[in-house]
């Protein structure tokens, strides 16, 4: 039976043993089931993330993930992705999420600390982990080195906020990459040396395999993924419609296994030395 875990607990094990925990934004029953089935195939723990702008009520999402997770055979965590504010974090904490992300990365350094620390205080009182972001991971725009995470600031940020895990900007970006991404691995290494906090890579879709393995080897312990498998999902469905008209039920059935296989292949990359995780 699958066990509900703390995200930081999964990531600390990953940090110690040299793999990364895949974290997926899922959007409905089908995508959540595919991610759990893929995690079973890849024999990896998994973090399922709720995207704050998503229309499914938080409680419905949490109930669905916990039910599917317990029916699975993998350790899992339930995480709130990119919360813009304290209230959304609090709602997730009350709903039974095991971790939340407060994204105050747009704010100046000291204000980011203040906003993040406020969430940490409330979350830790309830035994919930917090992910903060320093530097800024952009969206479908040219990568701006000026917004990359700086190692000394990272250490100060972790210390001052008390966060459990840290999202870094090292050349990664959300959505579809315009140019092939080029992660700054030496910078990642310096951040990894400067802080004990497990590090999170957002925008993991479409990062070349060799770079992703290097990132995992140098401290990335959680990888946020959405765009890539959702595009694959759409492509598989479009292809299924090529030869004849189909119902949505036929598309959901037909797409399940190919997309699950696609996700499992990505998960395997995150365990570069192919250790037996559990
Ligand atoms: Zn993100």
Q: Is 2 part of a structural domain of the chain?
A: no
pLDDT above 80 for 229: yes
Q: Is 274 part of a structural domain of the chain?
A: no
Nearest of 117, 121, 147 to residue 134 by alpha carbon:
147
pLDDT above 90 for 224: yes
Specify whether the CB–CB gap between 3 and 75 falls below 8 A: yes
pLDDT above 90 for 138: no
Q: Which positions ≥6 away from 269 have C-beta within 8 Å?
A: 209, 212, 213
pLDDT above 90 for 194: yes
Catalytic status, residue 81: yes
- Region 124-134 average pLDDT: 97
Task: Output the CA 159–ligand 1 centroid distance in Å.
Answer: 22
pLDDT tens digits along 22-44: 999 999 999 999 999 999 999 99
Task: Output the CA 224–ligand 1 centroid distance in Å.
Answer: 6
Task: Output the CA 174–ligand 1 centroid distance in Å.
Answer: 6
- Region 100-122 average pLDDT: 97
Which of 13, 53, 63, 81 is labelled catalytic? 81
Q: Is 278 part of a structural domain of the chain?
A: no
Q: What confidence score (pLDDT) does residue 1 get?
A: 86
Question: Rounded to an integer, what distance in angstroms lies between the CA atom of residue 52 and that of residue 88?
Answer: 8
Q: Is 248 part of a structural domain of the chain?
A: yes
- Region 164-169 average pLDDT: 97
- Region 215-223 average pLDDT: 97
Q: Which residue range is the domain that position 14 belongs to? A: 7-269
pLDDT tens digits along 39-90: 999 999 999 999 977 789 999 999 999 999 999 999 999 999 999 999 999 9
Task: Output the CA 277–ligand 1 centroid distance in Å.
Answer: 25
Q: Is 1 part of a structural domain of the chain?
A: no
- Region 125-131 average pLDDT: 97
Q: What mean pLDDT value characterizes the chain?
A: 95
pLDDT above 70 for 141: no
Task: Output the CA 245–ligand 1 centroid distance in Å.
Answer: 36
For residue 148, the domain's CATH number is 3.20.20.70
Number of domains in the chain: 1
- Region 231-247 average pLDDT: 96
Q: Is 72 part of a structural domain of the chain?
A: yes
Strand partners, 22: 223
Task: Output the CA 25–ligand 1 centroid distance in Å.
Answer: 9
Nearest of 201, 264, 200, 274 to residue 17 by alpha carbon:
274
Q: What confidence score (pLDDT) does residue 140 get?
A: 62
Q: What confidence score (pLDDT) does residue 264 get?
A: 98
pTM: 0.97
Q: Is 127 part of a structural domain of the chain?
A: yes
- From residue 165, how far is each of 22, 68, 79, 90, 266 by CA, in Å? 14, 25, 12, 18, 22
Q: Is 46 part of a structural domain of the chain?
A: yes
């Amino acid at each position: 039976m699958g066990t509900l875990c703390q995200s930081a607990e999964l990531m600390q094990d990953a940090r110690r043993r040299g793999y990364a925990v895949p974290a997926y934004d899922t959007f409905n029953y089908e995508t959540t089931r595919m991610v759990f089935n893929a995690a079973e195939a890849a024999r990896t723990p998994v973090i399922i993330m709720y995207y704050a702008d998503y229309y499914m009520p938080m409680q419905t999402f949490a109930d669905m993930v916990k039910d599917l997770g317990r029916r699975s055979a993998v350790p899992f965590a339930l995480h709130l992705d990119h919360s813009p504010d304290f209230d959304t974090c609090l709602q997730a904490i009350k709903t039974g999420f095991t971790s939340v992300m407060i994204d105050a990365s747009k704010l100046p350094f000291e204000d980011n600390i203040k906003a993040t620390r406020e969430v940490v205080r409330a979350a830790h009182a309830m035994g919930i982990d917090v992910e903060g972001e320093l530097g800024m991971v952009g969206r479908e725009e040219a990568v701006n080195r000026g917004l990359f995470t700086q190692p000394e600031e990272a250490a100060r940020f972790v210390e001052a906020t008390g966060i459990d895990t840290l999202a870094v900007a090292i050349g990664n970006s959300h959505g579809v990459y315009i140019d092939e991404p080029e992660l700054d691995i030496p910078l990642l290494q310096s951040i990894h040396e400067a802080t004990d906090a497990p590090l999170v890579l957002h925008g993991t879709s479409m990062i070349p395999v060799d770079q992703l393995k290097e990132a995992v080897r140098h401290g990335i312990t959680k990888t946020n993924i959405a765009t890539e498998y959702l595009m694959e999902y759409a492509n598989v469905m479009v292809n299924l419609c090529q030869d004849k008209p189909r119902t949505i039920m036929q598309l959901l059935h037909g797409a399940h296994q190919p997309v699950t296989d696609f996700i499992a292949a990505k998960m395997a990359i995150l365990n570069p030395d192919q250790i037996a995780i559990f």
